[in-house]
Amino acid sequence: MTIVPETGSPRLALHGGGPVRAERKPANPLISDAAKSEVVEVLESGTLAQFYGGTRVRRFESAYASRFQRKHAIAVSSGTAALHLAYLAARLPSGSEALLPANAYVSAASAMIQAEIVPVVVDIDPLTGAMDPEDCARKINDRTRMLVPVHMYGQPCPMPELTTLASRHGLVIIEDCGQSHGAPSAGRLTGTFGLAAAFSLCCRKHIAVGEGGMVITDDDASPKRSARWRTRARGRTGSTTGRWATATTSRRYRRCSACTSSPGSMKS
């Protein structure tokens, strides 16, 4: 079979023929005029950072938490940062092992190493591409402390089986939802099964803010710890004199308000 490009030339563009598509594909993601106006509004406000009084990031966090019916949402600078903070929320001893699927993006493992957790790779189901609960069970040992389902390409992992397995062995579940922003799974949404869930908001994800990430959790201690990590380990009291206190080391994972100025796609 001969594939003839739209230009009508039987030759490949590589060999001097016309391209298959004469016009470039539209930009992805599509950005509405309303979203552009909101970005301009932030730029003209004079307050580009949440740390100095910006409200857009907080509004985005509130919308995200509401969408997933979780108590807390913490916006950060990337999906990798979100994974790192989610892992830290588990408060695991250094050297603990965590299971993750073989087809996970490298950030799922590299963020574990940053948190002093040892990644252990698990096979995937050849039909679904999702984490295989049977191989998970085979890989569990006395050092295993955490299970990280990575929902690839919008396809949820088999969460009923994985949550049962985690409960049986006392494992913490942290979901990597970078490619699955709330897909339905067993009557719930991906991101609502574990202690915390991490999302990527980069330009190719379902919800895009350029670069960014989000952590959602019901754990009341996580927001305080995560806030310290994303703001140079400092807390500001609200005093006009700017009273500071450094609590620990940090990664400065803050978000820019202009990048999260239009959370309108987050519907409860």
Distance, in Å, from the CA atom of 103 to the CA atom of 29, rounded to the nearest integer, reads: 25
Domain boundaries, the chain: 51-233
Distance, in Å, from the CA atom of 67 to the CA atom of 92, rounded to the nearest integer, reads: 28
Distance, in Å, from the CA atom of 190 to the CA atom of 193, rounded to the nearest integer, reads: 7
Residue 158: the pLDDT is 97
Residue 265: the pLDDT is 47
The DSSP line for the chain is -PPPPTT--SS-GGGT---S-SSPPPPSS---HHHHHHHHHHHHHT--BGGGT--HHHHHHHHHHHHHT-SEEEEES-HHHHHHHHHHHT-PPTT-EEEEETTS-HHHHHHHHHTT-EEEEE-B-TTT-SB-HHHHHHH--TTEEEE--B-GGG----HHHHHHHHHHHT-EEEEE-TT-SS-EETTEETTSSSSEEEEE-STTSSS--SS-EEEEES-THHHHHHHHHHTTTB---S-TT----B-S-------BGGGGS-GGG---
Q: What is the mean pLDDT of the chain?
A: 83
Q: What is the pLDDT of residues 115-134, one digit of tens each?
A: 999 999 999 999 999 999 99
Place of tokens 């991490």: 198
Q: What is the mean pLDDT of residues 207-213?
A: 84
Evaluate if residue 268 carries a pLDDT over 80.
no
Helices 79-89, 106-114: inter-axial angle, 10-degree rounding: 50
Residue 239: the pLDDT is 44
Residue 107: the pLDDT is 94
Q: Average the pLDDT over each of 81-85, 88-92, 104-108, 222-226 and give the range with the smallest value.
A: 222-226
| Portion of the chain with pLDDT greater than 90, in percent | 53
Tokens found for residue 80: 């990798």
Q: What is the mean pLDDT of residues 22-42?
A: 83
Is pLDDT larger for residue 16 or for residue 258? 16
- In the structure, what pLDDT confidence band is assigned to residue 202 with cuts at 50, 70 and 90? confident
Q: What is the pLDDT of residues 128-184, one digit of tens each?
A: 999 999 999 999 999 999 999 999 999 999 999 999 999 999 999 999 999 999 899
Tokens found for residue 47: 């307050």
Q: Average the pLDDT over each of 77-91, 114-128, 195-209, 213-227 and give the range with the smallest value.
A: 213-227
Evaluate if residue 218 carries a pLDDT over 70.
yes
Residue 267: the pLDDT is 47
Q: 26-31: list long-range contacts, CB under 8 Å, 24+ apart.
A: 28/203, 28/204, 29/203, 29/208
Distant-in-sequence, close-in-space partners of 87: CB < 8 Å, separation ≥ 6: 98, 111, 112, 114, 115, 117, 146, 174
Tokens found for residue 67: 């969408």
Closest to 68 (Cα-Cα) out of 165, 178, 167, 192: 192
Q: What is the mean pLDDT of residues 220-235?
A: 58
| Portion of the chain with pLDDT greater than 70, in percent | 77
* pTM greater than 0.95: no
Q: Which fold has domain 51-233?
A: Aspartate Aminotransferase; domain 2 (3.40.640)
- In the structure, what pLDDT confidence band is assigned to residue 264 with cuts at 50, 70 and 90? very low
Torsion of CA 26, 31, 32, 33, to 10 degrees: -100
Distance, in Å, from the CA atom of 42 to the CA atom of 38, rounded to the nearest integer, reads: 6
Q: Average the pLDDT over each of 29-33, 41-45, 104-108, 161-165 and give the range with the smallest value.
A: 29-33
